[in-house]
Structure 1
Amino acid sequence: MKRMITPSADSISYFQRHKNVVSSKANTVKGEPNLIKQNLQSLESAIEARYSAFESSLSSGNLFNLAQDPILAEHKDDLLSCYTGRTAKVKEIFSSIEDVQPANFLRRCPYCGITLPKTYDHYLPESLYPELSVHALNLIPCCNSCNQTKNNFWKNDNHRLFLHFYMDIIPDIQYLNVRLVSDINLCAVGAIFSISRAPNIPNNVWDVLSMHYIKLNLIKIYNELANNEISEVFNVCISHLRGGGIDVGRFINILLSSDEQLYGINHWRVVLMKALSRSDDFERAVRASV
């Protein structure tokens, strides 16, 4: 699990992208003035102030305290029309997010690290912060499952519940662990995942990080996926040995190197494969099947 690269605002500011979305709306609807567009244009100064407040809260690490705007909430439907229209200008915002990420990074959902992210999550829920519906820093690529699970939840009384992948510190220290379980009689290896706080991970970082795993039920999901993943690695290692390969552990490390570089040392698949590369029981099971 790694922090994402922040979409740039150097050439086009985040607020200018919002204005571009509004400007791209038709001036008339069925021959009548487009009242939604007119209303959004009248709200520009208030929306710009909210963009500034949101960006400031992100840069200061104080997103938890960003309150809702009750006045803009009254214009929720019009504000959300900026996103739901999915115009070319909205797609440009998506591209500004996707294009700056490393190649292949978005093959896996940043929230869970498992499936292809085909949707965007509004980190601050669009139902509560509709004025930020097309702010690039409020849009996190994610899979349908994570998007539905997160829903409108984002904080409790004490801290946020999910990682913000443009803002949060994601420790480059091992906190996701796996214990391999071997059945020598069956020449089989299973896995049990867990998370544990390393001493040098601050409490405020761990509060959000650990809750992210809890709320998305990631440990249970990883445990359910582990057997299939182990079977896949097992079969690839058999093919490696049958093709003249010698060192199983080194071969597994070669396989995981690209994922480790992309997703970090705490990606569930990286953690699992590293454990397999060091397991004598796994290597024995592989060699017994060649």
Structure 2
Amino acid sequence: MPPTHIQRFEYIRDKKNIISRNKLVNQQADIRARFIDYETRFAHNTLAGIPASPLLAIKDELRSCYGRNSGMKALQDAIEAAQEDGRLVWCPYCGITTPTSYDHYLPASEFPEFAAHALNIVPACAKCNSAKDDIWLTTGVRQFIHFYLDDIPVFPYLSVQLVADPLAQAVGAVFGLSQAGMPASIWAVMESHFRRLKLIERYNRQSNTLVNQALKVSKVYLDSGGHDAALFLENLAADQANLFGSYDLRAVLWRAMSADPDLPVWIGWL
């Protein structure tokens, strides 16, 4: 049986120097109670109501548990191993680039007791980690999607318009975000997540690269004996959607490209 979250924390704690360790051991009951509260609220999706930390007096000792040590390395390895194969190819916050850091969903500055809690440590790219910073809650509403807690919305919240320039022989894409029938409670988090991380702007800046990558792999497919580039891209979109949701950045783009009658023309421009 894998260790519990508190057992992983206490393993890290017990490797600390004696002064830090003793301070943490003296607060063991309160730390355990906070872990239970986090996990209970997580299970019921009421994390936004978690009370302020009662353990700020030992915040330095708590935060030091998140550092370069064998226990934290084992914890991070367990976090990554728990994800579905392929899910961490892209940053869970933006879906644009590779996660190279870890974000504390509840900021360690305000909730130091969760600095080494697996449910509070989310793989993230450096850009999203920096942009999110210590923000997580405003007027009782969570401001970001929680990778472990929130289901991928099934509503068509992300759209794309393909823009072709025959003279320049180039294709671009313009992304858009809409509520699309999403319940207000879900939309509030989704809208804030996209706005605070500037995702639409970032998607649009990446659009030319993403379109060109899709056209290049389609050309390789055709040059290797494939016959239907549209079906090829449609299948790529379906695979992406199965892993990241139907309205993932690449799934939306590839699906739109596969459905455009000018796809063969665009591939011919390469």
Q: TM-score, normalised by structure 1?
A: 0.88
Q: Write out aligned runs for 1:108-127 (5 A).
A: 108-127=90-109
CA distance in 2, matches of 1:96, 1:243: 40
1:95-140 per-position Cα deviation (integer Å, ceiling 9, x unaligned): 2211121222211110011111111100000000001110100011
| Bigger mean CA deviation after superposition, 61-70 or 249-258 | 249-258
2:153–2:245 CA contact under 8 A, matched in 1? no
Q: Write out aligned runs for 1:209-228 (5 A).
A: 209-228=190-209
Give, as a single letter, the amino acid of the residue that structure 1 aligns with 2:58. Answer: H
CA distance in 2, matches of 1:186, 1:15: 59
2:230–2:263 CA contact under 8 A, matched in 1? no
Pick 1 or 2: higher relative contact order, CA cutoff 8 A, min separation 6.
1
Q: How many positions carry a matched residue from both structures?
A: 270
Give, as a single letter, the amino acid of the residue that structure 1 aligns with 2:244. Answer: Y
What runs of 5+ residues in structure 2 fail to find an aligned partner? none
The CA deviation at 1:93 is: 1.2
Counterpart for residue 238 of structure 1: 219
The CA deviation at 1:271 is: 0.8
Task: Give the match's secondary structure for 1:83.
Answer: coil
Q: Does 1:76 align with 2:81?
A: no
The CA deviation at 1:232 is: 1.8
1:170-190 per-position Cα deviation (integer Å, ceiling 9, x unaligned): 212321110111223333321
Q: Does 1:187 align with 2:169?
A: yes
Task: Give the match's secondary structure for 1:212.
Answer: helix
Identity in percent: 36
Counterpart for residue 49 of structure 2: 65
Which ranges of 4 or more aligned residues in structure 1 deviate by more than 4 Å?
none
Q: Write out aligned runs for 1:154-169 (5 A).
A: 154-169=136-151
Q: 1:18 aligns with which of 5, 9, 33?
A: 9
1:137–1:166 CA contact under 8 A, matched in 2? yes
CA distance in 2, matches of 1:59, 1:215: 26
The CA deviation at 1:230 is: 1.1
Task: Give the match's secondary structure for 1:82.
Answer: coil
Q: 2:83 aligns with which of 101, 111, 122?
A: 101
Q: Kindly tell me: are residues 138 and 41 of structure 1, through their superposed partners in 2, closer, same or farther at Cα, counting changes over 3 Å?
A: same
1:190-221 per-position Cα deviation (integer Å, ceiling 9, x unaligned): 1110111122x211011001111111000000
Q: Does 1:252 align with 2:233?
A: yes
The CA deviation at 1:235 is: 2.3
What runs of 5+ residues in structure 1 fail to find an aligned partner? 1-9, 27-33
Give, as a single letter, the amino acid of the residue that structure 1 aligns with 2:266. Answer: A
Task: Give the match's secondary structure for 1:153.
Answer: coil
CA distance in 2, matches of 1:167, 1:239: 39
Give, as a single letter, the amino acid of the residue that structure 1 aligns with 2:155. Answer: I
Task: Give the match's secondary structure for 1:137.
Answer: helix
2:237–2:252 CA contact under 8 A, matched in 1? no
CA distance in 1, matches of 2:218, 2:13: 54
Q: 2:121 aligns with which of 129, 139, 159?
A: 139
Q: TM-score, normalised by structure 2?
A: 0.94
The CA deviation at 1:149 is: 0.5
2:48–2:137 CA contact under 8 A, matched in 1? yes
CA distance in 1, matches of 2:205, 2:262: 21
Give, as a single letter, the amino acid of the residue that structure 2 aligns with 1:11. Answer: P
Give, as a single letter, the amino acid of the residue that structure 1 aligns with 2:59. Answer: K
CA distance in 2, matches of 1:213, 1:226: 16
The CA deviation at 1:54 is: 1.1
1:189–1:281 CA contact under 8 A, matched in 2? no
